[in-house]
Amino acid sequence: MTDLPLDQVRTLLAVVDEGTFDAAAAALHLTPSAISQRVKALEQRTGRVLLLRTKPVRPTESGEVLVRLARQVARLERDAYEELGLSGTGEPTRVSVAVNADSLATWFLRVLTRVPEELRLYFELRREDEDHTAALLREGVVMAAVTSSPDPVPGCSVRSLGRMRYLPVAAPGFAARHLDGPLEQVLLDLPMVAFDRRDDFQDGFVRRLTRGRSSASALRHYVPTSEGFVETVAAGLGWGLVPEAQAEPLLREGRLVELAPGRTVDVPLYWQQWKLDSPALAQVAEAVTAAAAQALRV
């Protein structure tokens, strides 16, 4: 088995993080030529192209594997120094996590309060749709993620968190104006609210309710924040699938009504993290699991 020189792996990570060979050279106090030679040597050793020489540079699929390795090694090194009392800097430890917007708005932030302060952790949260958070794990951008995929990313462990329930809702005035026939027919042309142009969630609900027919509505509002999404629906601009935790208070206040009582959508959520014996990640995973147990459905 061919060993991977850690100085070359760390250099690859620096190029990816900094975006250019020149910037990586400045960060590592080396010449651009030395940076280029290390990357080329690593590519020769692995027999793979690891970087796309774009601006900024991007790792190939093989490069992502080594970038993830470099971040994991750096994480283990920091943990080891701290356990040995050799860190010396007193700096807090970064924990990067990808989380979907609805979890951020409803339950995930409670996690931060459950992590012991003496660990001196700080969180870098990356907001991403639950269908796409796993990609950030594969790229090595984050250490852990709340995802809808039960299939572990290579090098990661996975555990079930529970199910987030969504309700199809609209403002009472909106429903009174538009619901003038069977919901299966009306819903096809109903003005809709979506998170962004990748959001197929509402469309999926329409297909299930109408046995495969797609929404024909040309009137869609794109609102890329969880709180803004709910307020847009409550304002009467369109219907949408809203997390149960956000919908229930507005249903009680009469600001929202259910379009299809009893027709809900449950999204299973999972916690994926690097397979590292890291005290920081272990504490965060424990806090996430405890918070999810209180907030999500089994």
Alpha-carbon separation of residue 112 from 62, 87, 121, 152, 284 (angstroms)? 34, 24, 9, 24, 8
What's the token pair of residue 116?
Answer: 């012991």
Domain ranges of the chain: 1-90, 164-262
Tokens of 6: 């850690």
What is the predicted pLDDT for the residue at 1?
A: 41
**What whole-number distance in Å separates Cα of residue 244 and Cα of residue 258?**
11
Q: Any idea what the Cα angle at residue 156 is, between residues 296 and 21, rounded to 5°? A: 120
Which has more confidence, 216 or 116? 116
pLDDT greater than 60 at residue 87 = no
Render the burial of 199-215: b for 16+ CB within 10 Å, e for the rest.
Answer: bebbeebbeebeeeeeb
1-90 and 164-262 have identical folds = no
Helix (H, G, I), strand (E, B) or coil at 195: coil
For the chain, report the end-to-end CA distance as a whole number of angstroms: 44
- Answer with the residue of higher pLDDT: 162 or 156: 162
When the pLDDT of each residue in the chain is averaged and rounded to a whole number, the result is: 90
- pTM for this prediction: 0.75
Looking at per-residue confidence, does 136 or 88 come out higher?
Answer: 136
d(CA 143, CA 70): 12
**Dihedral of CA 178/183/189/190: which sign?**
positive
- Does the domain at 164-262 match CATH 3.90.550.10? Answer given as no
What are the tens digits of pLDDT across the range 56-84? 999 999 999 999 889 888 888 877 776 66
pLDDT at 99 over 60: yes
pLDDT (0 to 100) of residue 85: 57
pLDDT tens-place string over residues 1-46: 468 899 999 999 999 999 999 999 999 999 999 999 999 999 999 9
**1-90: CATH, from 1.10.10.10, 3.40.50.300, 3.40.50.2300, 3.40.1110.10:** 1.10.10.10
Picking from 235, 56, 32, 272, the residue whose alpha carbon sits closest to that of residue 143 is: 272
Confidence of residue 88 (pLDDT cuts 50, 70, 90): low
DSSP-assigned beta bridge partners for residue 162: 269
